[in-house]
Amino acid sequence: MDNTRNMKAIQDSKLDKITFNSLDKVERYIKELGYIFKVRDSVREDRSVIYRHKFPKKGHVFLKSSYDFLSVGSMEMGTVWTVTKF
């Protein structure tokens, strides 16, 4: 019983990363989760945004852009947005 609680705590503590190809889609996803805009930062082509949840215990979301392959099977490159919950 104690071991299952420990494993659940370890799984909950891992950071979730989700990627999107469109800024509109990622902003809609973040809004549906209940997060509110907090801070935006841009340096040349690197863009990042931090969102906070309506309820403080739910944490924050970090949104970062990078130039990478658009999908696993394609050779097309473009802006990929990565969402990290912490």
Phi, psi of 41 (to 5 degrees): -140, 135
- Computed over every residue of the chain, the mean pLDDT equals 84
51 vs 2, residue with greater confidence: 51
Q: Read off the tokens for 56.
A: 């403080």
For range 45-64, the mean pLDDT: 90
